[in-house]
Amino acid sequence: MSTTESHDEATAVDPNAVNITINGRSVSAVKGEMIIAAADRTADFIPRFCYHPRMKPVGMCRQCLVEVEGPRGPMMVVSCMTPVADGQVVRTDTDQVKQAQEGVLELLLANHPLDCPVCDKGGECPLQDQAFSHGPGESRYVEEKRHYEKPIPISDLVFLDRERCILCDRCTRFANEVAGDPLISFTHRGNNTQVLTFPDEPFASYFSGNTVQICPVGALTAQPYRFKARPWDLEERESTCTTCSVGCRIAVQSSRDELVRYQGVDSDPVNWGWLCDRGRFNFQSVSSDDRVTTPHVRDGQTLVETTWVDALSRAAQLISSASGKVALLGGARGTNEDAWAWAQLADLAKFKMRDAQMGDGLPARVFSYPQATIDAACSAPTIILLAPDLKEELPVLYLRVRDAVEKGRSRIVEITSHDSGLTKYAWKSVHHEPGHQLDAVRATLADTDIAAQLAKGPVVVIAGRSSLAESEANIMAALDTIVGSVAHVSVLPALRRGNVRGALSVGLAPTDGNDATHILKSAVTGDIECLVLLGSDPLSDHPDADLVRRAFASVRNIIAVDMFMNQSVQSASVVLPAAAFGEKNGTTTNLEGRVTNVAQKVTPRGTSRPDWMIAIELAHALGRDIPLTRVEEVQAHMMTSIPQMQTENVAVALRRNGIVVPTVASAASSAAVTPVGTRNSYEFRLVSGRKLYDKATGTTASRSLVNLADSAAVYVHPQDLERIGKSDGASVRVSSSSGAIALPVHASSAVVRGTAFVPFNLAGADVRELIRHDQAVTDVRIEGI
């Protein structure tokens, strides 16, 4: 009976549960937990600087002193380093505790410059706040304070003011323990102890912004936010970052109707409070001067500004005159509501084809496998990586997976044709040439060691497009084999675009295999006459540059809905300016299928409008009414019209951790494996993947990030470089059957012998000139110029 069961549950004793007393009140805790963590669940706040719940304690600042009763009376202990014990009696409010905490604060302030009026942290500073709440109020120190050069840049994004630093070890611990980039360290000794980088070697971590957020004083400040606002001037709403598909929770902060900062919010199933620098600092693109803020229509060779009424009627006209030969490309940039409204429009206006991806992802049937969450992946004994470099493409997922390995929960089996950021954490790395992942997978599964590891329990495959220079069919065939032969397996799709899963779920998935590549091919053959670009830039993003160029030349009209005049938008006949992230409300779906909210914080620039509103207006102009006027109505209709969202309560999705909604996808059928020819020994097999900082508009339109991107180069194994007789940095000509590019060559031991790695979408020579959509792999020659 159910009552008995619940009774059993109530009396079942957790062997790890302990009870302690804090200030006379009983608190339940778990063995191994520190006193300060238990106290955080009560009303008794213990002051602290170095303690951070997502990092190991170090007892560096000594601010969290409390009294614990012992056999010889009360003893002062640091509560962040003292584990709870059953029956422990803790007091945080005695005179002795108060005196000790005041003493520590007086010492911490002995060298602190107290330049709060000119400090970015002033107003939200733990040192300032706790000096008021737990400090002595006055200092006995009259001596000269330490002096250092005022802020020194330790990277392009972060400044360090050593005078303000209280040496809490948070930033250095974060760099080492969480990010795995120990590029900052305590140096020197005693009174001269200071945090520094190695001379002339910047703190070039993808996660450096987190150190600014967790710095408990104003020692670390972020270049994009310096002197932009005071904390008490900031308005804030909790939202979800849509830069990539991890969907980190963020606080979007604005001052005077301009976005000035994103802060990470601790969402337990997703980002643990961390953000990557690209996601953190690309708010600058929203207020970029390059935004398209008014509608444009084509007048001969140029695009001229016009009114919404005119632009919408022109767009409607173009769609009508294409008599159904219309295709929609994109939709992964916006919210679920945006994608859903556009899917409605595409249905009503009978668009022939649609795809939210750009030939650089995986087919939507990847969602038909048993699905894993990030938490499931990071608690599984085995994670199989059949994915792009997570550190470059899904950085916070990289942090979570790295944590799972470092804490000994998971082992990584990586099957890759290029070393990734996780290779050094991998238990096994199986390298293969592109086109041979199926052989590699079979060999991996046949290995007795690996088979024993896989048998240990749930296995999660993180699956994505590991290289853009080969057919997705290669990856799907390998994935099919793993899913078909490993027990307790589930898949975490590592598709990269912000809301790609949402867009594919709410109606922008291609039907009958008419994906982006097929749409472009149809444009070439005249089967598509009008192309609608919904925040997409195929001219820069689709791997086959030649195909896109031919499609753009053949297609009669292009209608672009975008925030920027990117390369593809410049070819459009009608440009409709779209509201950016932070300028619209809605929901987004991350790579797990987790639906969370996206919040509007600032007014859309110029006359730009959210995508969903444009869809409804355009439907109206086409004489097809979608009778919805507010995003809440769109959301409600979307939630009721999509079966898998139907049962879910919108309100749940709008809470911090959101809700995982299953994605309906057509059942998997095994992919036709394209036979891969053997490579000539004088050729290289091409591998191409994305870097965190590339030519993406969100990055190039952000002043602080634009200069962080590398320029294009080809990387080969050092022995291969020797074999072709080139020196590191020499200019070479890389040619495939479809084109040739000139770029510098570098040696890299991350590259598998016989392959050549060219990063995707960087400034300089474009690797897409070498790639053909109809070839399973791309073989290239490298010659001197």
Partner 1 sequence: MSRLNDANVALAKEIIARYPRPKSALIPLLHLSQEQNGYITNDAMAHLAELVGVTSAEVYGTASFYEMFKFEPVGKYVINICGTLSCALMGSEELLHRAEHKLGVKAGGTTPDGLITLEHAECQAACTEAPCLQVNYRYRFRVTPADVDSLIHDLRAGKLSDEIPAHGTLAKVRQHIPADRGVGAVAPEAATTAPAWFDGKAAL
- Helix, coil or strand: residue 616: helix
Supply the minimum distance, in Å, between the C-beta of residue 200 and partner 1: 8
Task: Give the interface segment with partner 1, choosing from 90-98, 129-137, 176-184, 587-595 (CB under 8 A).
Answer: 176-184
Supply the minimum distance, in Å, between the C-beta of residue 166 and partner 1: 18
Task: With CA atoms as reference, report the closest residue to 555 among 587, 580, 582, 519.
Answer: 519
Instruction: Select 192 or 649, whichever has its Cβ closest to partner 1.
Output: 192
Total residues contacting partner 1 (rule CB under 8 A)? 15
Supply the minimum distance, in Å, between the C-beta of residue 135 and partner 1: 30
Task: Give the interface segment with partner 1, choosing from 31-39, 178-186, 230-238, 267-275 (CB under 8 A).
Answer: 178-186
Q: Could you tell me where the beta strands, DSSP code E, fall in 510-658?
A: 530-534, 557-562, 574-577, 586-589, 594-598
Supply the minimum distance, in Å, between the C-beta of residue 60 and partner 1: 15
Supply the minimum distance, in Å, between the C-beta of residue 419 and partner 1: 15
Subset of residues 478 to 517 that bind partner 1, contact rule: CB under 8 A: none
Report the b/e string of 545-579 with b at 16+ CB within 10 A: bbbbbbbbebbebbbbbbbbbbbbbebbbbbbbbb
Instruction: Select 185 or 629, whichever has its Cβ closest to partner 1.
Output: 185
Supply the minimum distance, in Å, between the C-beta of residue 532 and partner 1: 48
Instruction: Select 196 or 473, whichever has its Cβ closest to partner 1.
Output: 196
Helix (H) / strand (E) containing 25: strand 25-30
Instruction: Select 109 or 184, whichever has its Cβ closest to partner 1.
Output: 184
Instruction: Select 97 or 184, whichever has its Cβ closest to partner 1.
Output: 184
Mask for 393-432, x = binds partner 1 (CB under 8 A):
----------------------------------------
Instruction: Select 248 or 399, whichever has its Cβ closest to partner 1.
Output: 399
34 - beta bridge partners? 83
Instruction: Select 195 or 222, whichever has its Cβ closest to partner 1.
Output: 195
Q: Which residues 6+ apart lie within 8 Å of 378 measured at CB?
A: 400, 401, 403, 404, 409, 410
Supply the minimum distance, in Å, between the C-beta of residue 498 and partner 1: 32
Task: Give the interface segment with partner 1, choosing from 63-71, 175-183, 631-639, 756-764 (CB under 8 A).
Answer: 175-183
Supply the minimum distance, in Å, between the C-beta of residue 176 and partner 1: 8
Instruction: Select 398 or 684, whichever has its Cβ closest to partner 1.
Output: 398
Supply the minimum distance, in Å, between the C-beta of residue 189 and partner 1: 5
| Residue 65 CA, distance from chain mean position | 38
405 - beta bridge partners? none
Please provide the DSSP assignment of 341-385 as one string: HHHHHHHHTT-SEEESS-SSS--GGGGGSPB--HHHHTTSSEEEE
Supply the minimum distance, in Å, between the C-beta of residue 110 and partner 1: 21
Instruction: Select 181 or 258, whichever has its Cβ closest to partner 1.
Output: 181
Task: With CA atoms as reference, report the closest residue to 319 among 623, 629, 627.
Answer: 623
Subset of residues 595 to 634 that bind partner 1, contact rule: CB under 8 A: none
Cα angle vertex 702, ends 699, 706, to 5°? 60
Supply the minimum distance, in Å, between the C-beta of residue 82 and partner 1: 24
CB 174 within 8 A of CB 211: yes
Instruction: Select 132 or 186, whichever has its Cβ closest to partner 1.
Output: 186
Supply the minimum distance, in Å, between the C-beta of residue 535 and partner 1: 39
**CA–CA distance, 15 with 561 (Å, rounded to integer):** 58
What phi and psi values does residue 742 have, to the nearest 5 degrees? -115, 130
State how far the alpha carbon of 552 is from the alpha carbons of 242, 491, 733, 759, in Å: 28, 36, 27, 24
CB 259 within 8 A of CB 601: yes
Task: Give the interface segment with partner 1, choosing from 180-188, 325-333, 437-445, 682-690 (CB under 8 A).
Answer: 180-188
Subset of residues 197 to 226 that bind partner 1, contact rule: CB under 8 A: 197-201
Supply the minimum distance, in Å, between the C-beta of residue 775 and partner 1: 39
Report the b/e string of 295-320 with b at 16+ CB within 10 A: bbbbeeeebeebebeebbbbbbebbe
Please provide the DSSP assignment of 421-444 as one string: TTGGG-SEEEE--TT-HHHHHHHH
Supply the minimum distance, in Å, between the C-beta of residue 199 and partner 1: 5
Instruction: Select 184 or 327, whichever has its Cβ closest to partner 1.
Output: 184
What tokens appear for 282 in the block? 């690309």
153 - beta bridge partners? 159
CB 356 within 8 A of CB 509: yes
Instruction: Give yes or no for residue 643 binding partner 1 (CB under 8 A).
Output: no
Mask for 762-781, x = binds partner 1 (CB under 8 A):
--------------------
How, if at all, do strands 594-598 and 586-589 pair? antiparallel
Task: Give the interface segment with partner 1, choosing from 177-185, 374-382, 460-468, 633-641 (CB under 8 A).
Answer: 177-185
Subset of residues 182 to 201 that bind partner 1, contact rule: CB under 8 A: 182-189, 196-201
Instruction: Select 140 or 189, whichever has its Cβ closest to partner 1.
Output: 189
235 - beta bridge partners? 254
Task: With CA atoms as reference, report the closest residue to 240 among 492, 502, 595.
Answer: 595
Task: With CA atoms as reference, report the closest residue to 529 among 342, 323, 329.
Answer: 323
What tokens appear for 645 in the block? 């969202």
Residues near partner 1, by CB under 8 A: 181-189, 196-201
